[in-house]
Amino acid sequence: MKSVLFIAAMLAQPIAIAEKFDIPIDGSTVVGELRVITPDAENTLLDIARRFDLGHHEIVLANPTLDIWAPKPGSRVTIPTQFILPPKPWKGIIVNISQRRLFYFPPTKKGKVAQVITLPLSIAREGWSTPLGKTKIVAKHKDPGWFVPKSIQQEKLEEGEIDFPEYFPPGPDNPMGMLAIQTGFKSIFIHGTNRPWGVGMRTSHGCLHLYPEDAETLFPLISAGVPLRVIDQPF
């Protein structure tokens, strides 16, 4: 397992940069590498997670002794950008609920090495779930509006949010973000979010939330008909 040390006076890129990895030709199912940084005092662990395209739980699990909001100056922060690929077949999109990660395997051009793009996700909160199994991408929506399902409206009432809207128009306050990918599972979308710091947590009602910039990365790469497989495979 490799570990690379990066000394960072500041993290110049404040948002996620999705990485594309070559799939090892030796049969290995691990891509990427561990990194270690010494961050600027102004960076929280969540800032660092977003910069390196990691979810909340990934950065916390990798750094259990550090304060999430104020890691001490000079702290060594482990960046767990090494990932186990999901079980084959590697085609289209695979979501692993246990990893809270999406893996997209783009078509491989002749003579080229197969590659994978992996992105962190928010998953369903307690009491809600995302269907497991196989389906496909049905459609893509820019600037979606959101009619809040009755079940969620009822939940919000029970939580005391009596003014929770029945409809969110397109815009920055829409929980679906600016880009939404409709799956073949009823009412399940892969979409951006207006609360990016929750990526990697259990925050959704079944949909799969991406950092807004990751939604922008994935959106143009896929089209209706791309296969989608959702699994729950601990490692």
Which member of 56, 191, 205, 209 is catalytic? 191
Which member of 56, 57, 205, 207 is catalytic? 207
Q: How many other CB atoms are found less than 10 A from the CB of residue 157?
A: 11
Kindly provide the residue ranges of all beta strands, DSSP E only, lying in 108-200, ordered along the sequence.
115-120, 123-124, 133-142, 146-147, 167-168, 179-183, 189-191
One-letter amino acid for residue 56 of the chain: H
| Bridge partners, 94 (sequence order) | 103, 229
* Strand, helix or coil for residue 50: helix
Q: How many other CB atoms are found less than 10 A from the CB of residue 162?
A: 7
What gap in Å lies between CA 66 and CA 182, rounded to an integer? Answer: 38
Active-site residue flag, 207: yes
* Strand, helix or coil for residue 221: helix
Residue spans of alpha helices (H) in the chain: 45-51, 56-62, 150-158, 212-218
Which token pair is 156? Answer: 């919000």
* Strand, helix or coil for residue 119: strand
3-state DSSP helix/strand/coil percent for the chain, to nearest 5?
15, 30, 55
Catalytic positions: 191, 207
